[in-house]
Amino acid sequence: MADVLKQELGVEAELSKGSNGVFTVAVDGDIVAKKTLDGFPTPEQVLAAVRAKLPS
């Protein structure tokens, strides 16, 4: 996902080690996408969420 964010939006992702299959994407401290009981968000969902949070 970090590579997709870099390629599509020019955003450098900071990866943090977690546990128990945690997957959370935050922009400026605000969570915009995360793994739920239904599974992981798609790359398209993550891109849209990050894009919506970035300044224009």
Number of domains in the chain: 1
Domain that includes residue 14, residue range: 2-53
Q: Please give the model's pTM, rounded to 2 decimal places.
A: 0.87
Q: Kindly report, residue by residue over 1-56, the tens digit of the pLDDT.
A: 999 999 999 999 999 988 888 999 999 999 999 999 999 999 999 999 999 999 87
Beta carbons within 8 Å of 24's beta carbon, 6+ residues apart: 18, 31, 33, 34, 35
Give residue 50's region: left, alpha or beta (phi > 0; psi -120 to 50). Answer: alpha
